[in-house]
Amino acid sequence: MLILGIESSCDETSAALVADGKRIVSNTVFSQIEIHKKFNGVVPEVASRNHLIKILDVVDEALGGAPLDTVDAVAVTNGPGLLGSLLVGLSTAKAIAFTQSVPLIPVNHIESHMYAPHLTNDIPFPYIALVVSGGHSLILKVDSFQDYELLGTTIDDAAGEAFDKVAKVLGLGYPGGPEIDKAAKNGDPGFMKLPRMLSERREDRYNFSYSGLKTAVAFRMKGMTLDSGTVADVAASFQSAAVAALIEKSLNAIRDTGIKRLVVSGGVAANSCLRSRLDELRGDGIEVYTAELAYCGDNAAMVAGRGYVDFLAGKTGGMKTDAYSRLPLVQKGKRVFG
Q: Are strands 137-144 and 127-132 parallel, antiparallel or unpaired?
A: antiparallel
Within positions 81 to 110, which residues make up the interface with ligand KG4, using CB under 6 A?
A: none
Task: Look at residue 110 and give the partner it binds from Zn ion, ligand KG4, none, a contact being a CB closer than 5 to 8 Å depending on partner kind.
Answer: none
Identify which of residues 133 and 207 has a Cβ nearer to ligand KG4 in the complex: 133
CB of 291 to ligand KG4, least distance (A): 9
Span of 24-32, 91-99, 191-199, 268-276 interacting with ligand KG4 by CB under 6 A: 268-276
Q: Is 175 in the site for ligand KG4 (CB under 6 A)?
A: yes
Identify which of residues 182 and 315 has a Cβ nearer to ligand KG4 in the complex: 182
The order of strands in the sheet holding 127-132 is 147-153, 137-144, 127-132, 261-265, 287-290
Identify which of residues 102 and 167 has a Cβ nearer to ligand KG4 in the complex: 167
Burial 46-71 (b: 16+ CB within 10 A, else e): bbbbbbbebbeebbeebbeeeeeeeb
Task: Look at residue 21 and give the partner it binds from ligand KG4, Zn ion, none, a contact being a CB closer than 5 to 8 Å depending on partner kind.
Answer: none
CA distance 212 to 32: 29
Helix (H) or strand (E) holding 163: helix 159-169
CB of 107 to Zn ion, least distance (A): 12
CB of 142 to Zn ion, least distance (A): 18
Q: Do the beta carbons of residue 31 and residue 11 sit within 8 Å?
A: yes
Q: Are strands 73-79 and 127-132 parallel, antiparallel or unpaired?
A: unpaired
Identify which of residues 181 and 310 has a Cβ nearer to ligand KG4 in the complex: 181
Q: Is 111 in the site for ligand KG4 (CB under 6 A)?
A: no
Burial 7-38 (b: 16+ CB within 10 A, else e): bbbbbbbbbbbbeebeebbbbbbbebeebbee
Q: Do the beta carbons of residue 5 and residue 18 sit within 8 Å?
A: yes
CB of 133 to ligand KG4, least distance (A): 3
Q: Is 164 in the site for ligand KG4 (CB under 6 A)?
A: yes
Q: Which spans of this chain sit near Zn ion (rule: CB under 5 A)?
A: 133, 298
Q: How many CA atoms lie within 13 A of 223 on its CB side?
A: 2
Q: Is 177 in the site for ligand KG4 (CB under 6 A)?
A: yes
CB of 54 to ligand KG4, least distance (A): 17
Task: Look at residue 175 and give the partner it binds from ligand KG4, Zn ion, none, a contact being a CB closer than 5 to 8 Å depending on partner kind.
Answer: ligand KG4
Task: Look at residue 252 and give the partner it binds from Zn ion, ligand KG4, none, a contact being a CB closer than 5 to 8 Å depending on partner kind.
Answer: none
Which residues, other chains included, contact 265 with Cβ-Cβ below 8 Å and sequence gap of 6+?
A: 113, 114, 115, 116, 117, 129, 130, 131, 132, 290, 291, 295, 296
CA distance 226 to 223: 9
Within positions 180 to 209, which residues make up the interface with ligand KG4, using CB under 6 A?
A: 181
Q: Is 178 in the site for ligand KG4 (CB under 6 A)?
A: yes
Helix (H) or strand (E) holding 124: none
Q: Do the beta carbons of residue 133 and residue 113 sit within 8 Å?
A: yes
Please calculate the CA angle 175-181-183 and round it to the nearest 5 degrees.
100
Q: Is 135 in the site for ligand KG4 (CB under 6 A)?
A: yes
Q: Is 79 in the site for ligand KG4 (CB under 6 A)?
A: no
Among the listed residues 111, 157, 204, 298, the single contact to ligand KG4 using CB under 6 A: 298
Identify which of residues 120 and 215 has a Cβ nearer to Zn ion in the complex: 120
Q: Is 32 in the site for ligand KG4 (CB under 6 A)?
A: no
Binding residues vs ligand KG4 (CB under 6 A): 10, 133-135, 160-161, 163-164, 175-178, 181, 266-268, 270-271, 297-298
